[in-house]
Amino acid sequence: MVHTSLDVVDEKISTMGKALVDQRELYLGLLYPTEDYKVYGYVTNSKVKFVMVVDSSNTALRDNEIRSMFRKLHNSYTDVMCNPFYNPGDRIQSRAFDSMVTSMMIQVC
Amino acid sequence: MRAGGARWSLPARGSRMADAVLFEFLHTEMVAELWTPDPDPGSGGPEMSPSVLESVGFRVGQALGERLPRDIPAFREELDVLKFLCKDLWVAVFQKQMDGLRTNHQGTYVLQDNSFPLLVPMASGLQYLEEAPKFLAFTCGLLCGALHTLGFQSLVTASVAALPAWDMIDMFQVGFTRGGLQRWARTCSPPWVLLGCRLLSR
């Protein structure tokens, strides 16, 4: 499902590029809703794509919250990138990153 | 950088003055320690194998390329990326903007810096011309790394005409020799430093 959502992300990026609207949002919004899950997307300037899959039964999540969650994800990812012991392209093994993600998920559930 | 794992952010202008000097000293020591001259002098020009300095610069460039555009709206085209390099990246690292940007709209870009901060402490003019490339290796790597994070494969080369200025050029031709670069350079008005940066692919 995450892989299909990546296709939607690419589609959104390409359509955004062609549109003349000055839409420079990094946040892509709700990609597409399915029966059980909602999928949200976010693309950074370095073309790193974050995809968030949320249970549809959790209706309390608002757009702003999703945005702030992506923001936190982006910030943590940037911190991981700046870590000199991390080689770009490797699997992320930073404990700080993991704990941030876990705390975010706990907050939501 | 604040200690204790706090969020890193660009400090206020006044407190950045010490950063510039510290970076200059660090860079000088890095060059003294890590510079290895090209073992095969006949290999012909700026297409040399990446030195340790360039690799260090590359990794730093990758990190900066991730952190600096974080709050900027999405880049729409190549020119946006180059403008980001000239303005935001240069200001973040050297506290000044690049002095000139030219392009042929085919992947070739000329970035000109008339008073490159890492070369300013050396004599102005032609006296230390041979030494100058050492001091550009890190910066070449920096640009290459930043471009790499932003999705471009590039080849960055450097050339100095007269200290302390330099230019960045994205060269489209393969195998552009140092001699050729300097010949081209002399046709432009001095003083400047040439840094060749070739955008290979996205």
> pLDDT (tens digit, 9 = 90+) per residue, B13-50?
555 567 888 888 888 888 888 876 655 555 444 444 55
Alpha-carbon dihedral sign for residues B133, B136, B138, B140: negative
How are beta strands B109-113 and A49-55 bridged, if at all?
Answer: unpaired
Report which secondary-structure segment, H or E, holds A55. Answer: strand A49-55
pLDDT at residue B123, rounded to an integer: 65
Residues 6+ apart with CB under 8 A from A106: none
B109-157 pLDDT, tens per residue? 777 787 778 877 776 666 777 777 778 888 888 888 888 888 888 877 7
Q: Does A89 touch chain B (CB under 8 A)?
A: no
pLDDT at residue A32, rounded to an integer: 54
pLDDT band at B191 (very low <50, low <70, confident <90, very high): very low
Residue with tokens 């006296």: B127
Instruction: Return the amino acid letter for B201.
Output: S
Instruction: Return the amino acid letter for B184.
Output: W
| Segment 18-77 of chain A within 8 Å of chain B by CB | 24-26, 43-48, 74-75, 77
Report the residue from B63, B73, B76 with minimal CB separation from A81.
Answer: B63
Task: Phi first, then psi: give them for residue A29, nearest 5 degrees.
Answer: 80, -165
pLDDT at residue B114, rounded to an integer: 77
Pairwise pLDDT comparison (B53 vs A24), residue with the higher score: B53
For residue B87, the 8-state DSSP code is I
pTM: 0.71
Interface test with B, best of A13, A18, A46, A49 (most B CBs within 10 A): A46
pLDDT at residue B126, rounded to an integer: 67
Of A37-51, B80-94, B184-198, minimum mean pLDDT range: B184-198
Report the residue from A26, A43, A78 with minimal CB separation from B66.
Answer: A78
User: What is the rounded CA–CA span in Å between residue B90 and residue B70?
Assistant: 16
What percent of chain B shows pLDDT beyond 90?
A: 0
- Taking CA atoms, A60 is separated from A101, A107, A108, B133, in Å, by 19, 12, 9, 58
Q: Is A79 exposed, middle or buried (0-12, 13-18, 19+ CB in 10 A)?
A: buried
pLDDT at residue A18, rounded to an integer: 45
The verdict on a CB contact (< 8 Å) between B150 and A17 is no
Pairwise pLDDT comparison (A62 vs B52), residue with the higher score: B52
